[in-house]
Structure 1
C-alpha cells in the first residue's frame, strides 16, 4: 500500500526562493505529487500567484485562500486561473498591518461563493483539533461540508493518540493529515503560544524524534491509502524530507 497523495507546504517568501524550494523538493523528495502554499500577509507574493508560478513545473498546487480578505463584490482569487483545480479556504488571522482591510466573511460564505462562481474547483477547508472542544470543531466540519467543502487539511498533529482519535472522527472524509517538525524549545514555544498545541509529556524536540514520529504516521496513512502534507517549518527541506522517503515508498 502507498499514500494516495503526498503534499509538501512551501512558504512563498519570494518568486526566487519558491523556485529554489520546488527544485529541492523535486530533487530530494520525488514522492511528493502536490504542493500547498499558504497566503502569508508579510510576503508580497500571494498564494494563488505562487500557484501560477509553480504550475508549469508542478501541476498540482493548492493555494490557501483567506476568507476575511475577500471583498463582497471582488473577484474570487484563482477562480479563473488556468490549470488551478483545488484550493484550501481558511478563515485567516487579522493582519498585523491594521491598514490592510478585512471583511466579516465566514469560511462557509466564501466556500459557497466558490461553489457557485467556480464550480470546477475542489474546495478544502481546515480542521484543527486543538482550537476548541472537539464537538464544536466537528460541527464546523459539518457546516463546511454543507457549504460545499469536499475535503480537509488538518492542523499538524504531534500526538499519535490524538491522530488516531481524529482519524476516527473524520472517517470516510477526504483528509490531508499535517505533519511538521518541532525542533528545539523555541519552536515548541511557538506552537504552544500561537496554535495552542498541547504536546505529549514525552514529546522530544530533536530532529530524530520528529522524523520517527512522522515515519510512524506516514506508514499508518499509507496502509489506508490516505493523504498527508508535510510542513517543514524553520528547517531546511533537505534535512527533513529525504528521511521520510522510506516510509512513503
Structure 2
C-alpha cells in the first residue's frame, strides 16, 4: 500500500527593497517554483513599497498574497478603510504583527495585535487573519498564553520567527495542539549575523549550528520532514540571498536538477527534499 505524505503549505517572504527587485523575485518564484503560491509581504518604513503596494504589483496577481499589517500604525477607527483597500486588491488573508513604531513621522498608535485581530474579524469574518509567534521574546508559558489569546481573538494560524532546531518546533507544537503553525526558516550565514540574531532577537541556536548557507538549507530540509510528520506549514524568509541559493537548495527549481518538470511540489518532491537528515545538537 502506498502511503500519501502530507504536503505542507509553503509561504515565501519577499522583502520589497525596490519595486524592481520585488518584481524580479515574484517572476522567479512563479517560474521556478510554480507550486509555491503564497507570498508574505512585510511592511517596513525604510523600504520603497508598503505591504499593500506590493500586493498591487502585476507580478503578484494570482498568488496568495499575505500583507503584514502593523498594529502600531493602524488606529482601530481606520480598520474599515484598511479592509476596503484589501478588498480592492483582492487580498483574502493578512498577517497581523505588532511591528516597530513608525519612523516616517506618522503617529504611533496604541492598537495592540489582539485588538487589531479582533477588529478585523468582527468587521470581515471571512478574512483569514494570521498572527505572529515569537519563541524568544518571553517565557515559553507566556508566549503560549499570548498565542492562544490571538487564536481566541480570531487568528487562523501562527507564523513563527525563524527557528533553528526542530526540538523547539516540537515543544510549541505540543503546547499549541490543533493550532496551525507556519515554522519560520531563514539563512544566518555569518558569525556577525548570528550575533545580531542573538542580540536583537534573543534567538537560540543549537550547539551544532554553523553560520553557513549549507547548514541553514540542510536544517530547512529537516524542517520539511517535521512539517510533513506534524501536519504543519513552512515560512521561508531568505535574507540577502537569492531564491535559487536558499529555496533552490531545498526544492529543486523547475527545469533544473532532480525535478526537471517542475510542475508539482507534492509529497514525493517534499520527501526527496527532506531526505538528508542531520543530528540536532543540544541548545547552546
Shorter-chain TM-score range: over 0.9
- Give, in angstroms, the shift of residue 55 of structure 1: 6.9
Change (3 A) 1:56 1:198: closer
User: 1:138 — aligned with what?
Assistant: 144
Change (3 A) 1:170 1:198: same
Residue 43 in 1 paired to residue 47 in 2? yes
Residue 85 in 1 paired to residue 89 in 2? no
User: 2:116 — aligned with what?
Assistant: 110
State the secondary structure of the residue aligned to 1:240.
Answer: helix
Q: Deviations over 1:77-112 (max 9, x none)?
A: 544334211001011112345x33111111111111
Distance in 2 between residues matched to 1:72 and 1:223, nearest whole Å: 39
Change (3 A) 1:31 1:59: closer
Matches within 5 A, 1:59-208: 59-74=63-78, 75-76=81-82, 78-97=85-104, 99-208=105-214
Q: Deviations over 1:29-51 (max 9, x none)?
A: 33412111111111131102211
User: 2:223 — aligned with what?
Assistant: 217
1:31 touches 1:248 (CA, 8 Å); kept in 2?
no
Distance in 2 between residues matched to 1:55 and 1:139, nearest whole Å: 39
Distance in 1 between residues matched to 2:124 and 2:16, nearest whole Å: 24
2:26 touches 2:60 (CA, 8 Å); kept in 1?
no
Distance in 2 between residues matched to 1:194 and 1:54, nearest whole Å: 35
TM-score normalised by length of structure 1: 0.92
Change (3 A) 1:224 1:103: same
Looking at CA atoms only, which structure, 1 or 2, has the larger radius of gyration?
Answer: 2
State the secondary structure of the residue aligned to 1:93.
Answer: coil
Question: 5+ residue gaps in structure 1?
Answer: none
State the secondary structure of the residue aligned to 2:88.
Answer: coil
Question: 5+ residue gaps in structure 2?
Answer: 253-268, 272-284
Residue 25 in 1 paired to residue 13 in 2? no
Equivalent of residue 56 in structure 2, options 46, 52, 56: 52
Relative contact order (C-alpha < 8 Å, sep 6+): which is higher?
1
Superposed CA RMSD: 1.9
1:55 touches 1:83 (CA, 8 Å); kept in 2?
no
